Structure 1
Amino acid sequence: MAENLLHHPITSYETIINLIPQKEPFVFVDTLYEYTDLTGVTGFTVPDKNVMMDGDVLSESGLIEHMAQSMSLHRGYQGSLSGQSKPKTGFIGVIKTVEIFGLPKSGEVLKTYVEILHEILNVTSVSARTENERGEVIATSEMKTVTVE
């Protein structure tokens, strides 16, 4: 397994915002815990108020967006390492599978593990697994993201 290239987690809101193309109120990641060329571990503390909240619970769409933005954060950090001044824009091209086993409540801290499965030109196939703060898997997905130059 590749070595984590982060010496300490990135938790600064300003740094995270500069690594992803998304902006408020549509930000669903707040920490980069680990980074390797093909994997990453991200975090997100579910807010009290958010466009994707359903009462005090993050909706399915919000959870899927968090997984996609976890990939975006990995990509943004990768780009920053190679000298890119701003993150490339991307979008979900295809959601191959998504399984949601539970929805997190506001205040819960999520941890998501992303892995690049393969890449062809600007299309990346990625898997994601999201756990709650008790280490229980609450969602998994496999999707293809498309990066726009």
Structure 2
Amino acid sequence: MAENLLHHPITALEEIIKLIPQKEPFVFVDTLFEYTALTGITGFTVPEENVLLDENRLSESGLIEHMAQSMSLHRGYQGSLNGQTKPKTGFIGLIKTVEIFDCPEVGEKLKTYVEILHEIMNVTSVSARTENEMGKVIATSEMKTVTVE
């Protein structure tokens, strides 16, 4: 298992926002728990003012965006380790699979595990698994993200 290169979780929202290209109100990650070259663990507490709520629950679109931003946060931290001062912009190029088993309520804490499966030039294939606070898997996905310079 690769070593976690993050000495302390990053929990300050202003630090997280420096690592991702997204800005409020479209931020769907608030913690980076662990980072290795190929994996990361992120967190998100569903806020009551979130733009993708559906009757007090994070919508399916919100969960997919959270998984994509978890990858973005991994990439942003990797960039900061390499001296980048601004995160690169990226987007979801393809969603290969997505399964959503439950939509979390406002205030619920999510933990998402991302893993880079392979990377060719600026296209990255990544898998993500999101769990609720009880450790129950509520969503999984495999997607390809595209980074633009």
TM-score of the pair, normalised by structure 1? 0.99
Match in the other structure for 1:114: 114
The Cα shift of 1:92 comes to 0.0
**Residue of structure 2 equivalent to 1:23:** 23
Aligned pairs for 1:125-136 within 5 A: 125-136=125-136
Aligned residue in 2 for 1:68: 68
Q: Which residue of 2 aligns with 1:6?
A: 6
Displacement of 1:21: 0.1
Q: Which segments of 5 or more consecutive residues in structure 2 lack a partner in the other structure?
A: none
Q: Are residues 1:82 and 2:82 paired?
A: yes
**Other-structure match for 2:95:** 95
Unaligned segments of structure 1, at least 5 residues: none
Of all paired residues, the percent bearing the same amino acid is 83
Kindly state the Cα deviation for residue 55 of structure 1 after the two structures are TM-superposed.
1.6
Partner Cα separation in structure 2 for residue 6 and residue 121 of structure 1: 25
SS at match of 2:23: coil
Task: Output the TM-score relative to the length of structure 2.
Answer: 0.99
Deviation at 1:108, TM superposition (A): 0.3
The residue identity in structure 1 corresponding to 2:70 is S
Distance (Å, rounded) in 2 between the aligned partners of 1:48 and 1:15:
21
Instruction: Give, in whole Å, the separation in 2 of the partners of 1:123 and 1:28.
Output: 22
- Secondary structure at the aligned position of 2:68 is classed as helix
Q: Distance in 2 between matches of 1:108 and 1:54?
A: 14
List structure 1 runs of 4+ shifted beyond 3 angstroms: none
Task: Give the residue type in structure 1 aligned to 2:33.
Answer: Y
What is the CA-CA distance between 1:49 and the residue it aligns to?
A: 1.6
SS in structure 2 at match of 1:102: coil
Other-structure match for 2:38: 38
Q: Residue 6 of structure 2 aligns to a residue in which SS?
A: coil
